[in-house]
Amino acid sequence: MKKKVLAVSAACALTAATAVPALALENEFHGMFRVFGTISNYNDGGSGQILPTDTGAYSTGVLKYNGVDPKTKSFVEQRARLMYIAKANDDLKLVTHFEIDSRWGDTSYANGRNGGGAVGADTVNFETKNVYLDFNIPSTPMNFKVGIQPIVDSYKGIFINADAAAALATAKLGDGSVLVGFSRLDDADTFTLGSATATRVASTPGKAKRDLYIVDGKYNITKDVKVGASYYLLNVDQTAAAAYDYMLHTVGVNAEVKLAPLTLDGFLLYQSGRSNGADKIDLNGWAANLTAKGKLGPGTLKASFLYASGEQNGTRDDSTYRGITNETSTANGEHSFYESDMMIMFRNKMNITGDRAIVYNVKNVIGGFVGYNANITPKAFANVNAGFVATDKSNDDFGTGRVNGGGHKSNYLGTEINGEVGYKVFDNLTASLQGAYVFLGDYYKDTVGTAANPDDPRNPYVGRIMLNYAF
Amino acid sequence: MKKMAVLLMAAFMMSATVPVFAAEMTKEEKDQCLLASKNCATEVDTLQKKIKKLNAEIKKGKKVYSADEIKKLQQKLDEANALLDDILKGGGN
């Protein structure tokens, strides 16, 4: 009997020891690798806004471009992203996401991001994009994401599309969901824009900060009709004495309707706030979008419209629409409108370190975009896009006025045409050729040269060859 | 007899807990993992493959899955799409 008990116990122990894969950690790796070869008279491999009226003066690291006589630049840049997910089970995982960027020939044996492409390589260039915990509360509809994570608004990214430290809670309720969140965008003495060093409250966490509070609801009325509404509160608590101390309330509504074969979607955003300090500037901006997409032949035809308000004079009240910006670097935009599919007028979704655009921050702009994506064969694809872009108010947001006086001749910034042809070497490896050209509008008429000999800046162009592997 | 039953039970339980070994190749088969990096025991789906598989399973609909299970598959599909978007999207210089 004793032996039988022993045998049964041994069998049970062995069974238990070998039958616990459910408790084991699932290791998930994903990532991507992209290489761009670029030739351009515009993109210089840096990031941020470049204006056709820039004169080549090299200031704050941005203005290498010379609109009168832009030099042809050629460079190759690469980006690798590695994502590791430690998944305990379906309800609990840690997500980490890293990035390594280099421009061929840039630096070697250095300590710092965006380098290591020069002979010798060996550079400390490992960036951490995301580290966050993603978990569900069992038997409830609640999901939490806590840590440094990607945040994308419900407005195609024109308010925020960035990595940020945040705590987001989402409740799924029937056909709807509600997200409530908090993000600390930046803190203490990290500000480089808007406030003078002397007025900062240095090294006191929580005393000079920008916080973002998010409430975002979505509801599927039917399978084909979805609506949403949001409230974002940006608390800019930088210094009590300046215009950079305000609460900006942003409310928005969005909808998507499928009317086969068309899909229509769009949004409306309104912003309101008042700065503290002596000036008490009223902030009132708004933005709107409408997009229609539909199958046509072997591809998809898209037409899109975007409006973001601007300001004529900037005193007492400011009607500029404002997305979230970065205040710790000169790159600035932590929002985007990738849906435009532009390559020069707006930031392009495929850009890596060479992330240049005329309309870098979405503000003071009216744009119409049409595009067609086609799958020529299961392996080959092509797309063409055209964008027609103007300013809302005729100020100097996108370049200085005429050199012989009189501001800008028109609000029209320019027309961009671009295209791409590509081939899927494998399911997850794509090779493509891209090109873009901008016919600058009369906004730039006579804006470079001298008062005696005014000139127009040259039209920007870019050509790229890209390899993209994602897994 | 009882002893035999206990041993049989133990053997059965063990065999049920080691499916990986059970699926191993026979001597005559080629090792496709070594030869062509295919069918490796530790193979993990790429995001694209995961998305394809999830779409295929969702298409099977209520004949195979319950409404809750379809919802769960859809949620996993949304997550995989979001991860792929996040990996591919530009910016961040």
Query: pLDDT at position A242, please?
Result: 59
Which residues of chain B have a CB within 8 Å of the CB of A331? 93
Q: Is A108 helix (H, G, I), strand (E, B) or coil?
A: coil
Residue in B24, B79, B92, B61 with CA at minimum distance from that of residue A79: B92
Measured in whole angstroms, the distance separating CA A438 from the mean position of its chain's CA atoms is 22
Smallest Cβ distance to A18: which of B3, B17, B87?
Answer: B17
C-alpha distance from B33 to closest chain A C-alpha (Å):
19
d(C-alpha B92, C-alpha B41), whole Å: 36
Query: pLDDT at position A402, please?
Result: 95
Task: Please spell the DSSP secondary structure of A311-352, one letter per residue.
Answer: -SS-SSEE------B-SSSS--BS---GGG--SSSB--TT--
pLDDT digits (tens, 9 = 90+) for B18-65: 444 444 556 677 888 888 878 777 778 899 999 999 999 999 999 999
CA dihedral defined by A270, A275, A279, A283, rounded to 10 degrees?
Answer: -10
d(C-alpha A351, C-alpha B88), whole Å: 10
Provide the whole-model pTM.
0.86
Which of the residues in chain A have pLDDT under 70? 1-23, 56-65, 188-204, 239-244, 314, 329-331
DSSP β-bridge partners for residue A245: A237
Question: Hey, what domains does chain A have and what are their CATH numbers?
Answer: 22-470 (2.40.160.100)
Residues 46-65 of chain A with CB under 8 A from chain B are 46-47
- Give the type of residue at A164: A
Residues whose CB falls within 8 Å of the CB of residue A361, separated by 6 or more in sequence, listed in order: A49, A322, A323, A325, A332, A333, A335
Q: Are A239 and A208 in contact (CB under 8 A)?
A: yes
Task: Please spell the DSSP secondary structure of A384-415, one letter per residue.
Answer: EEEEEEEESS-SSTTS---TTSSS-S-SEEEE
Query: pLDDT at position A449, please?
Result: 86
Q: Are A286 and A321 in contact (CB under 8 A)?
A: yes
CB contact under 8 A, A163 and B92: yes
Q: Which among A20, A30, A168, A350 is the top mutation candidate for probing chain B, defined by the most B β-carbons within 10 Å of its own β-carbon?
A: A30
d(C-alpha A64, C-alpha A51), whole Å: 10
Residue in A351, A425, A333 with CA at minimum distance from that of residue A103: A351
Smallest Cβ distance to B92: which of A12, A29, A99?
Answer: A99
How does DSSP classify residue A50?
Answer: -
DSSP β-bridge partners for residue A26: A87
How far, in Å, are A227, A264, B24, B55, B64 from residue A223 at the CA level? Answer: 11, 14, 45, 17, 21
How far, in Å, are A1, A89, A139, A145, A172 from residue A142 at the CA level? Answer: 52, 16, 9, 10, 7
Residues whose CB falls within 8 Å of the CB of residue A454, separated by 6 or more in sequence, listed in order: A402, A403, A404, A446, A447, A448
pLDDT digits (tens, 9 = 90+) for A200-237: 445 567 777 889 999 999 999 999 999 999 999 999 88
* Joined tokens for residue A378: 């299961």
Closest B-chain CA to A83: B87
Residues whose CB falls within 8 Å of the CB of residue A159, separated by 6 or more in sequence, listed in order: A153, A232, A250, A252, A269, A323, A324, A335
Smallest Cβ distance to A353: which of B10, B86, B93?
Answer: B93
Query: pLDDT at position B91, please?
Result: 72
- A273 membership: H or E segment, kind and range: strand A262-275
Measured in whole angstroms, the distance separating CA B9 from the mean position of its chain's CA atoms is 28
Query: pLDDT at position B20, please?
Result: 45
Reported for A86-93, long-range contacts at CB under 8 A and 24+ positions apart, including other chains, are: A86/A25, A86/A26, A86/A27, A87/A25, A87/A26, A87/A27, A87/A28, A88/A25, A88/A26, A89/A22, A90/A136, A91/A135, A91/A136, A91/A138, A92/A133, A92/A134, A92/A135, A92/A136, A93/A133, A93/A134, A93/A135
Residue A390: CB atoms within 10 Å: 19
d(C-alpha B51, C-alpha A285), whole Å: 39
Does the complex come out with an ipTM higher than 0.90? no
Residues whose CB falls within 8 Å of the CB of residue A9, separated by 6 or more in sequence, listed in order: none
Q: Are B52 and B44 in contact (CB under 8 A)?
A: no
pLDDT digits (tens, 9 = 90+) for A376-406: 999 999 999 999 999 999 999 999 999 999 8
The whole-chain average pLDDT of chain A stands at: 88
C-alpha distance from A274 to closest chain B C-alpha (Å):
30
CB contact under 8 A, A427 and B86: no
Residue A138: CB atoms within 10 Å: 10
C-alpha distance from A331 to closest chain B C-alpha (Å):
8
d(C-alpha A29, C-alpha A274), whole Å: 46
The angle subtended at Cα A387 by Cα A386 and Cα A388, nearest 5°, is 130
